[in-house]
Amino acid sequence: MNRIPENLANVKERLAAAAERSGRTPDSIKLITVTKGRSVTEIQTALAAGATDIGENRVQEAQQKYEPIHSFLTASGSQMCEWHLVGHLQRNKVKPALEMFSLIHSVDSLRLLAEIARRAEVRKEQTDILIQINTTGEASKFGLDSKDVQDFVEKSLTYSGVRIVGLMTMGMLSSSPEVNRPAFASLRMLSDKIMAEEFPGITMQYLSMGMTNDFEVAIEEGANLVRIGRAIFESTV
């Protein structure tokens, strides 16, 4: 656990090197520290070491951590962190999700989008979301099929409570990061294609891809949000 600051520094160095290889500056890529399954103490250590963005994959787990983390940051006079929902969202959890998360990475159906929009309108807000795409074709993975995205975006235009700001995908679990390069490249191409359509109000400013095993490859392929857990919290990776 006391390796967290060191691990975080190491991940940031690798991120910066990958950014430079892809002709970008390190600060154009946001590191999301994925804290699912980690204790409040571990998260506090990461925040004290400079983590700014927290990723959780379950609303209920995030709810348990939200208050203690908020109090910790207030007590230490630190800036608040941003909370990202990176895991699957059920429609009956949208209300609490909107109370915590500034970006939802995992929207993969129009019914979910409609519910987020409805709840956001009640809050007189616009919620930023990413569309999750299944780029690997694995049946076990959430996400839209690439071929359905155009249609999804067109239909989303009627919902004023949400703002689509990019795409998210998960690579395959593999020990070789190169395995996911084609999937990441395909997400980048899909993003370019949607951008070229110039849908009103839709930006493709974020590409959320890359985890512990493959974040450097993801950055080389254009990721600007990377979601990293194990490399920060575990000493063996």
Ligand X SMILES: *Cc1c(COP(=O)(O)O)cnc(C)c1O
Positions that interact with ligand X (CB under 6 A): 34, 36, 57, 86-87, 170, 211-212, 227-231
**Closest CB to ligand X among 161 and 229?**
229
Residue 29 one-letter amino acid: I
User: Which residue's Cβ has the minimum distance to ligand X?
Assistant: 229
Please give the structure tokens belonging to residue 194: 């949607």
**Closest CB to ligand X among 91 and 230?**
230
Distance CA 188, CA 45 (A): 34
CB 59 within 8 A of CB 95: no
Q: How far is the CB of 214 from ligand X (least distance, A)?
A: 9
Residue 101: name the closest of 133, 125, 77, 118 by CA. 125
**Closest CB to ligand X among 159 and 215?**
215
**Closest CB to ligand X among 162 and 225?**
225
Please give the structure tokens belonging to residue 55: 């990723």
Distance CA 209, CA 45 (A): 25
